[in-house]
Structure 1
Amino acid sequence: MIVILGPTASGKTHLAAQLAHRIGGEIISADSRQVYRGMNIGSGKDLNEYVVNGNPVPYHLIDIVDAGEKYNVHQFQLDAQRVLSEIESRGNTAILCGGSGLYLNALLQGHGFTGIPTNPSLREMLEAYPHEVLLKEFGKKKTAYSPLADTSTKKRTIRAIEINNFLTANPDYPIPETELPDFKVYGIDPSTKLRREHISQRLKERFDNGLIDEVKGLLQQGIPAQTLIYYGLEYKLITQYLNGEMILLEMKQRLETEIHRFSKRQMTFFRKMEKEGIDIRWLRNDQTPDEWVETIVSNLNE
């Protein structure tokens, strides 16, 4: 299995599609929001990328649940394993592509912690506390999950506390491990300047292509505002704008800032994956996407 990762707006999808076309591969999307139907512009599906020289490139785990439903990393693990088996049965190469570090890491590391049940009452209680307090609470208990936890956001820290509490109360809980085929991971890491330029340009294009109307349409379909806010970034801030919580200019400025911060958090998470033992081969920034394809193909042949 080939894995292509990188921050938002780095060109992952384009590279994965070009590579899949070249080697006869099938793409598995590792994106926490592209699973939702109707969330196209804001999640950056870029479905036109999956046609190369007039030939469609097979892709999976995009548009598999309705917007408004809940989808989590455990469900992604199950779905990705199923799709992997199907791709293998066809004798094709799976190309896992995405920027959702939690999804990528859970699959590559074979974490079984994602199946631990949620605790709604605990979550509701923890929501009242600021992130700094939650981080201190998380540090009070040490379990097998502690060194693997992602506490970069309040939502993820709450989940980490939830898992630690469960494991403390259930020390004999069996942690299942998933089996994967051999994999090689390739990363795209544009310079900070280039990354910021790409993010700003892509966000402008999304607004021009009807991003606000997309969110407005989801609200009109009856999807609760709180659900869209839960999806974060574009869906969160545009929903708040449509609800009159801020003016258009403020929303656009805050959204761009938040996406830049999100991109930085992605890179931090990928570095964390490296420290945990995932070998990421970073592609050279002075090469074109076509040259990246050649580099990967050459490496695979070796």
Structure 2
Amino acid sequence: MAKQMITILGPTASGKTPLAAALAEKVGGEIISADSRQVYRRMDIGTGKDLGDYILKIKDEIVKIPYHLIDICEPGTKYNLFQYQQDFYDAYQDICRRGVVPILCGGTGLYIEAVLKGYKLSPVPQNPELRQRLESKSLEELTEMLVELKEKNGSNMHNKTDVDSCQRAIRAIEIETYNLEHPMPRRELPPVDSLIVGVHIDREQRREKISRRLKARLEEGMIDEVKALLAEGIPSEDLLYYGLEYKFVTEYIIGNTTYDEMFQHLEIAIHQFAKRQMTWFRGMERRGFKIHWIDAMQPMDDKVKEILALWQ
């Protein structure tokens, strides 16, 4: 069997993926993505897949680091936590069976917590009547309803990190309502023992990296990527559902905002998203997870050595 799993988490733009790849090269590991949007094919620039990060040049040799749970479903589908938990566990078992080290890497705190803790989840069907009743409500009203439902359920799912649009909030309310009305035996997947490493980046450095990266992604063709998805026949409301880049760029393409407004609003939204990610990770610590924080700005070799010392 493989050694204990290593989890690398942190906010957007903290450099998690290059670190996970460098670590995987050292320990002979494979990476399992914990990103709720990188599961979608052809949504590459906006989700920040940066697949080049998994290709390393070691001396004169090119090393490709194997990764899992990226590009596994079609845009327009609604991938969810229940599916992620099963897909993670399948990949995790396969990696362990081969005696390889699994490295979980990403910024979707809910996904990470669900697999580490072994959340007991049930698949939740859509509720058209409930959706119809909720469709005229604002995000603020929906968020208020969701908070009340979570209190009744004693649930810590659906943190604001992942509920940044009305569609997502409605789906979260649908899940919480179903769980309240259907107390039932749920699928059980065991918790996973893992060393958890958080990549800490100073707030000002994070803001600067986010702004620089956003400009680069727009120059690399993020608008064309969204246009191509719309041209494929994916409804604009489905792209709005994915939030952040897809939400704001779609609004620009369909003529609801100017380019400058899109850039400004998107930049603010990504900064807020990174802040909410950190709030989730701090919450994980309060809920009993031990996260070893390391400085994002250290040289790569030093970060890898620090993790190896903790792991061994």
Q: TM-score by structure 2 length?
A: 0.90
Question: Is residue 2:42 matched to residue 1:5?
Answer: no
Q: Go from structure 1 to structure 2 and tell me whether the alpha carbon gap of 1:169 and 1:9 turns closer, same or farther (over 3 Å shift).
A: same
Alignment of 1:277-288 (within 5 A): 277-285=288-296, 287-288=298-299
Q: Is the 8 A contact 1:143 1:167 kept in 2?
A: no
Question: Is residue 2:25 matched to residue 1:21?
Answer: yes
The Cα offsets for residues 62-117 of structure 1, whole Å up to 9 and x where unpaired, read as: 11112222211111111110001110111001000001112112111211235343
CA–CA distance in 2 between the matches of 1:102 and 1:207?
A: 28
Q: Is the 8 A contact 1:113 1:145 kept in 2?
A: no
Q: Go from structure 1 to structure 2 and tell me whether the alpha carbon gap of 1:292 and 1:145 turns closer, same or farther (over 3 Å shift).
A: farther
Equivalent residue number for residue 177 of structure 2: 165
CA–CA distance in 2 between the matches of 1:59 and 1:90?
A: 15
The Cα offsets for residues 160-203 of structure 1, whole Å up to 9 and x where unpaired, read as: 433443233233x1133311442111001211100001101111
Equivalent residue number for residue 149 of structure 1: 157
Deviation of 1:131 after TM superposition, in Å, equals 3.8
Structure 2 residue matching 1:37: 3-state secondary structure:
coil
Equivalent residue number for residue 127 of structure 1: 135
CA–CA distance in 2 between the matches of 1:180 and 1:139?
A: 26
Q: Go from structure 1 to structure 2 and tell me whether the alpha carbon gap of 1:156 and 1:275 turns closer, same or farther (over 3 Å shift).
A: farther
Equivalent residue number for residue 223 of structure 2: 212
Q: Is the 8 A contact 2:8 2:197 kept in 1?
A: yes
Q: Is the 8 A contact 1:68 1:223 kept in 2?
A: yes
CA–CA distance in 1 between the matches of 2:290 and 2:126?
A: 31
- Count of aligned residue pairs for this structure pair: 300
Query: 1:31 is matched by which residue type in structure 2?
Result: D
Structure 1 residue matching 2:187: 3-state secondary structure:
coil
CA–CA distance in 1 between the matches of 2:42 and 2:149?
A: 40
Equivalent residue number for residue 261 of structure 2: 250
Q: Which of 44, 47, 55 is the matching residue for 1:43?
A: 47
Query: 1:200 is matched by which residue type in structure 2?
Result: S
CA–CA distance in 1 between the matches of 2:146 and 2:251?
A: 30
Q: Go from structure 1 to structure 2 and tell me whether the alpha carbon gap of 1:193 and 1:141 turns closer, same or farther (over 3 Å shift).
A: closer
The Cα offsets for residues 6-48 of structure 1, whole Å up to 9 and x where unpaired, read as: 1111100000000000100000011111111111111111111
Q: Go from structure 1 to structure 2 and tell me whether the alpha carbon gap of 1:27 and 1:286 turns closer, same or farther (over 3 Å shift).
A: closer
Query: 1:162 is matched by which residue type in structure 2?
Result: E
Q: Is the 8 A contact 1:151 1:160 kept in 2?
A: no
Q: Go from structure 1 to structure 2 and tell me whether the alpha carbon gap of 1:5 and 1:145 turns closer, same or farther (over 3 Å shift).
A: farther
CA–CA distance in 2 between the matches of 1:141 and 1:41?
A: 35
Equivalent residue number for residue 242 of structure 2: 231
More deviation in 83-92 or 134-143?
134-143
Deviation of 1:139 after TM superposition, in Å, equals 4.9
Q: Go from structure 1 to structure 2 and tell me whether the alpha carbon gap of 1:161 and 1:69 turns closer, same or farther (over 3 Å shift).
A: closer
Q: Go from structure 1 to structure 2 and tell me whether the alpha carbon gap of 1:136 and 1:79 turns closer, same or farther (over 3 Å shift).
A: same
Q: Is the 8 A contact 2:167 2:241 kept in 1?
A: no
Deviation of 1:140 after TM superposition, in Å, equals 4.5
Identity among equivalent pairs (%): 48
Query: 2:36 is matched by which residue type in structure 1?
Result: S
Structure 2 residue matching 1:115: 3-state secondary structure:
coil
Equivalent residue number for residue 241 of structure 1: 252
Structure 2 residue matching 1:66: 3-state secondary structure:
coil
The Cα offsets for residues 118-137 of structure 1, whole Å up to 9 and x where unpaired, read as: 42321332232234433443
CA–CA distance in 2 between the matches of 1:296 and 1:214?
A: 36
Q: Is the 8 A contact 2:38 2:71 kept in 1?
A: yes
CA–CA distance in 2 between the matches of 1:47 and 1:56?
A: 10
Q: Go from structure 1 to structure 2 and tell me whether the alpha carbon gap of 1:297 and 1:242 turns closer, same or farther (over 3 Å shift).
A: same
Structure 2 residue matching 1:283: 3-state secondary structure:
strand
Q: Which runs of 5+ in 2 are unaligned?
A: none
Equivalent residue number for residue 114 of structure 2: 106
Alignment of 1:82-101 (within 5 A): 82-101=90-109
Q: Go from structure 1 to structure 2 and tell me whether the alpha carbon gap of 1:238 and 1:167 turns closer, same or farther (over 3 Å shift).
A: closer
More deviation in 286-295 or 144-153?
144-153
Q: Go from structure 1 to structure 2 and tell me whether the alpha carbon gap of 1:58 and 1:5 turns closer, same or farther (over 3 Å shift).
A: same
CA–CA distance in 2 between the matches of 1:43 and 1:269?
A: 20
Q: Is the 8 A contact 2:117 2:191 kept in 1?
A: no
More deviation in 114-123 or 253-262?
114-123
